[in-house]
Amino acid sequence: MPMSSAIPKSVLLVCLGNICRSPTAEGIMRQRTAIAGLTMKIDSAGTGDWHIGKHPDLRAQTHAKQHGYNISKLVARQVSPKDFIDFDLILAMDAQNLKDLQAIREVAAQTTNTDSLARLALMSEVDISYLNQDVPDPYYGGEDGFEEVIKRLESSVDAWIHTWQI
């Protein structure tokens, strides 16, 4: 059976704050799936609640814009158990995000058949360039961290799209 049967209808990108990595991932995935002719619902969220309602960090907005991604209108929200029902695939930016999401998935599993819950994976799970590596949190670092985030996310988004096109 062709792998294309595994194309998700919806993807949720998740980091800690939903103001740096995951909105950047959302912008990149929106643009690159559109170019690839793939139609899917794409959203992002954070495991934490500190930045709910805020637009992405200005540094993330600026670096994204320099690479052709406008993420200025995105608004942070917190991930919830319902997201495991609403989305087919949930991608965690780092190992801690993945661990936190596994706990939220357990909560969702208590009210829903596990077979129908979102598949959970690391952002880099299919990316041979950064295989199973974290997308490093740029929040407390310098500008170069934001560039590194974009480089890794472009690579990993392309790797996911490749798996959906086989």
Any idea which residues carry the catalytic annotation?
15, 21, 137
Q: Cα(6)–Cα(47) distance, rounded to whole angstroms?
A: 26
> Of the listed pieces 11-19, 117-125, 126-134, 158-166, which binds ligand 4NP according to CB under 6 A?
11-19
CA 27-2-156 angle, to 5 degrees, is 25
Interaction of residue 151 with ligand 4NP, rule CB under 6 A: no
Q: Of 20, 45, 91, 118, which lies in the binding site for ligand 4NP, with binding defined by CB under 6 A?
A: 20
User: Residue 132 has which token pair?
Assistant: 């199973």
Do 69 and 31 touch, CB atoms closer than 8 A? Answer: yes
Interaction of residue 27 with ligand 4NP, rule CB under 6 A: no
46: which strand partners?
15, 78
Per CB under 6 A, contacts with ligand 4NP among 32-71 are 46, 50
Q: Cα(134)–Cα(159) distance, rounded to whole angstroms?
A: 15
> Of the listed pieces 10-18, 36-44, 77-85, 108-116, which binds ligand 4NP according to CB under 6 A?
10-18
Per CB under 6 A, contacts with ligand 4NP among 89-118 are none
Q: DSSP label at 43?
A: E
User: Residue 129 has which token pair?
Assistant: 């360039």
Q: Of 8, 11, 12, 18, which lies in the binding site for ligand 4NP, with binding defined by CB under 6 A?
A: 18
Instruction: Give the helix ranges, DSSP H, for the chain.
Output: 21-35, 58-66, 83-86, 95-109, 143-165
Least separation in angstroms between residue 25's CB and ligand 4NP is 9
Least separation in angstroms between residue 79's CB and ligand 4NP is 12
User: Residue 11 has which token pair?
Assistant: 């993807």
Binding mask 120-139 for ligand 4NP (x = CB under 6 A): -----------------x-x
Interaction of residue 75 with ligand 4NP, rule CB under 6 A: no
Residues 6+ apart with CB under 8 A from 35: none
- Contacts with ligand 4NP, residue ranges (CB under 6 A): 15-21, 46, 50, 137, 139
